[in-house]
Copies of this chain bind each other. A is one copy, B any other.
Amino acid sequence: MSTYQLLLALSALSAFISAASANDPDMLQDVCVADLNSTVKVNGFPCKDKFDAADFSSNVLAKPGATNNTLGSLVTAANVQKVPGLNTLGVSLSRIDYAPGGLNPPHTHPRATEMIFVLEGQLDVGFITTSNTLVSKTVIPGDVFVFPRGLVHFQKNNGAVPAAVIAAFNSQLPGTQSIASTLFGATPPVPDNVLTKAFHIGTKEVTKIKSRLAPKK
């Protein structure tokens, strides 16, 4: 098995674990609590034989995420991987924390619409339609804002204090494709000549951006 195959295999495995959805198929019973460790893999997850209330609850969103990273933001997910009772139910939540100046960079959710509720701070938020119209607004605590399924969107904390939101998705596992790291940090890498031509930049600039967005070892 080559290194490339190994990488692919590992990536495939993590793709399977970290991926997402929107407008999930309807359930065929009251509940089908995810058996996250099943050796059988299906669309979503097989169901556990037994469950209790803990399967429908979690405290992973209780504490602010650590925002002392390059982007100054952190997304914490309460999706089917953390709340197995969500399997087949078509909804999930995240919390997003932002340091002052922090950015949740342009990204898409391939399979979910997102609706945020601002817990604290102030954010400049926006999405871009397929006709390249930016729809944007400044939101403050108590405001809600909607990002339609599949469209590129972002949130930027241009305020002086931390910000935080609760984000709702109509999928048990909404997935996130962060544009910059998707293009400049993929494994194997996206060919340079795709990126130079798409962004009208030189190979040197591509190399520089790639080095900054390289996957963490």
Name A residues whose Cβ lies closer than 8 Å to a Cβ of B: 5, 7-9, 11-33, 35, 38, 40-44, 46-54, 56-63, 70-71, 78, 83, 85-93, 95, 103, 105-106, 108-115, 117, 119, 124, 126, 128-137, 139-146, 148-152, 154, 156, 158, 166, 168-173, 175-177, 179-191, 193-194, 197-201, 205, 208-209, 212-213, 215
Contacts and interface: CB of A to CB of B under 8 A. Distances in A.
Contacts of A86: 115, 146
A57 B13 contact: no
A22 B30 contact: no
A7 B50 CA distance: 11
Nearest to A14: B131
A12 B55 CA distance: 12
A110 B130 contact: yes
Nearest to A199: B180
Contacts of A113: 89-91
B141 A62 contact: yes
Contact of A30 (B151, B187, B205): B151
B137 A168 contact: no
Ranked 6 nearest A-B pairs via Cβ: A110-B150, A62-B142, A11-B133, A168-B168, A19-B29, A19-B30
A8 B133 contact: yes
A93 B208 CA distance: 38
B50 A43 contact: no
Contacts of A171: 28
Given A86-B146, A93-B117, A133-B186, 20 more contacts: A12-B33, A12-B133, A15-B129, A16-B29, A20-B29, A28-B44, A53-B137, A58-B144, A109-B150, A110-B149, A124-B191, A132-B215, A133-B187, A134-B189, A152-B183, A156-B193, A168-B168, A179-B179, A184-B199, A205-B205
